Structure 1
Amino acid sequence: MLFVRPARLADLDAIAHMARTAQPVLHSLPHDRAALEARIALSEDSFRADVDFPGEEFYLFVLEDSATGRLVGTSSLIAAAGYSEPFYAFRNDALIHASRELHVNRKIHALTMSHELTGKSRLAGFYIDPALRGDAAAHLMSRARMMYVAMNRRRFTPEVFSLLLGVTDDAGASPFWEAVGRKFFGRDFKDIEMASGGRSRTFIAEVMPAYPLYVPLLPEAAQRVLGEPDPRALLAYEIHLEEGFEPDRYVDIFDAGPVLTAQVDRTASVAGNATRVVRESASANAEVSETYLVASQQGGEFRCVLATLPVQEASTYAPHAPHAPLALVADAPLDAATRAALNVQDGARVRCAPLYRETPDNDNSMGEAQ
């Protein structure tokens, strides 16, 4: 069984291997072993800390196969992006150029350097072992982070964002970088990707253009990829949409990849989150009809799995007072392997959210998952 938990220093070798081999590059995981060890230690400290508001905390998660103990994925949460240095992105703007005398009034698409995302919580560092089959593991690895946010609201801001990989060719070259970044840095995209360490280095502001870039002046190849995810990022893009993220007015300053944002209260993992009581079950219930993200925080350690549970309302109405809601805690029948992965016993309380959003009956334009 696959389950998500916080990373530990004992995981250093496995995480270092993922950091070296991950494509696209994981900016939240440095290749230098000493720096990576410090990053894992920061994550351990962040999970243990008593936090009243988001700051410099960094949370690193891993996906473990309980049968083998092997780590097959990783992802991270940054409590406040650009906490020590601004987080930069290009903002899509529309500039008006007008002349009454010439009867000209044109709205021109422009990109403006911005650090308005600074201070907001960010999802980062998503990686899944390519050998894993199916999309379930990717959904679990990505969305477990929002389950942690749902259970620890004080640690994060009301709005979260995620930056996805922009379009690159088979050689790793970015059309947008070739049209913009190379003109200012004079170096290859991959070199700057490694040096950037998460788009929050002061050299970005020192070297990149301070004035708006007029999009019509860019080569057509660069214009086409603005806000487009790379094919390798399409699964992550769809998972974010399922969670409730939406494309915003920002794009990445290096490869013009999309920036997705969401109000935490409106995300699927928060809006659909409910407490259930664990009940022992020898096997999966044949009558269950929905897959849930199930999370626990027993002993302070977060765990998250996918499990099939009965579709049951979390609240109903008392017959003697139809207008007064009576909260009922639903059961979560879990087999032994799932209880072990969550580190819970019969009677413990877990947090559950449907893996997929419900589609309204009158909306036939889309399937269960986006």
Structure 2
Amino acid sequence: MLFVRPARLSDLDAIAHMARTAQPVLHSLPHDRAALEARIALSEDSFRAQVDFPGEEFYLFVLEDSATGRLVGTSSIVAAAGYSEPFYAFRNDALIHASRELHVNRKIHALTMSHELTGKSRLAGFYIEPALRGDAAAHLMSRARMMYIAMNRRRFTPEVFSLLLGVTDDAGVSPFWEAVGRKFFGRDFKDIEMVSGGRSRTFIAEVMPAYPLYVPLLPEAAQRVLGEPDPSALLAYEIHLEEGFETDRYVDIFDAGPVMTAQMDRTSSVEGNESRTVRESAGAAPGAKYLVASQHGGEFRCALATLPEAAQAPGRAGHGVHAPAAAPLDAATRAALNVQDGEAVRCAPLYRHNEDDSMEQSTGEAQ
């Protein structure tokens, strides 16, 4: 049974291994062991803190196999991107160049450096073992974060965004970086990626162009990858779409990868979220896949379970009064969620659309 929980300092060795081996590099997990330990400690403090509005909190989650205790994935939430320094991205703009004398009126696509995403909550650091990629486990690892946000709205902003990896070749070379970033930094993409601090470093504003970049003047290879996810990020892209994210008017300032945004009130984790009462069950019953989350004793847990669909869920009362639907969970799932019969859990459908269609889109893709 796979389930998601907050990271602990006792997970340091396993998380350090994932930080070293993750491709692409996880900005939220430094390779330096002491820095990583401090990052996990910050996460523990953030989960424990009484928070009325988002600030410098950082929430790190791990995906654990309850049968072995082994960690097989990680993901995180930054409560307010660029809390200490602005978060930079390129904004897609359309500039009008017109001449009445020449009868010319042209709309030109341009990229302008922006820090408008600063202060918004950000999903980051998604990594899952290659053997589990393309499986529902990847959806669990990624979307458990949204369940946590849905259950703790005051800790986060009403709008959430996620930055996906842009197109790179097998050697890790980004066409957009070669056309733009290298001209200003004079260094390899991977070198700057390691020190960028998740796009929140002062040197970005100091070195990158302050004036708009006219897209038609860029090499064709760089224009083609604007806002395109790397093939290795297609699964993450599909998962975000399933949740309700959309590609917005921003692209990454280094590799031009898509920035996806979502209004929390319009996401699957909020629109489909409902409270259910745990009921003991010997095994899986007919139904649909659900994200099931608990905060028993203050610790968040999230797992997948097959539950009766909301419209058919037992436990509804008549005469306009609605009792919580039942969540029949087997012993392994109850143990993973640390809940017992009669306790409340929060549930949201794993897929907005037909499950088989969603899995067909994701199978064989990598993140």
Normalised by the length of structure 2, the TM-score is: 0.95
CA distance in 2: counterparts of 1:121 and 1:327, whole angstroms: 34
CA distance in 2: counterparts of 1:142 and 1:318, whole angstroms: 37
In structure 1, the residue matched to 2:206 is 206
CA distance in 2: counterparts of 1:138 and 1:283, whole angstroms: 23
- Kept in 1, the 8 Å contact 2:278–2:329? The answer is yes
Closer/same/farther in 2, CA of residues 80 and 206 from structure 1, 3 Å limit: same
- Kept in 2, the 8 Å contact 1:3–1:65? The answer is yes
Matched, 1:310 2:305: no
In structure 1, the residue matched to 2:349 is 354
Report the count of equivalent residues: 357
Deviations 1:131-162 (A, max 9, x none): 22642110000000000001000000000000
In structure 1, the residue matched to 2:324 is 329
Matched, 1:75 2:70: no
- Name the Cα RMSD after superposition: 1.4
CA distance in 1: counterparts of 2:136 and 2:358, whole angstroms: 14
In structure 2, the residue matched to 1:322 is none
Q: What displacement does 1:312 show?
A: 3.2
CA distance in 2: counterparts of 1:283 and 1:134, whole angstroms: 25
In structure 1, the residue matched to 2:174 is 174
Structure 1 SS opposite 2:173: coil
Equivalent positions of 1:1-370 (< 5 A) are 1-132=1-132, 134-285=134-285, 288-313=286-311, 318-319=318-319, 325-358=320-353, 367-368=357-358
Structure 2 SS opposite 1:326: coil
CA distance in 2: counterparts of 1:368 and 1:116, whole angstroms: 32
Q: What displacement does 1:367 show?
A: 4.0
CA distance in 2: counterparts of 1:89 and 1:255, whole angstroms: 10
CA distance in 2: counterparts of 1:14 and 1:368, whole angstroms: 31
- Kept in 1, the 8 Å contact 2:316–2:325? The answer is no
CA distance in 2: counterparts of 1:174 and 1:23, whole angstroms: 14
- Kept in 1, the 8 Å contact 2:317–2:323? The answer is no
- Kept in 2, the 8 Å contact 1:274–1:353? The answer is yes
- Kept in 2, the 8 Å contact 1:30–1:197? The answer is no
Closer/same/farther in 2, CA of residues 82 and 161 from structure 1, 3 Å limit: same
What amino acid is aligned across from residue 337 of structure 1 in structure 2?
A
Structure 1 SS opposite 2:321: strand
CA distance in 2: counterparts of 1:317 and 1:296, whole angstroms: 24
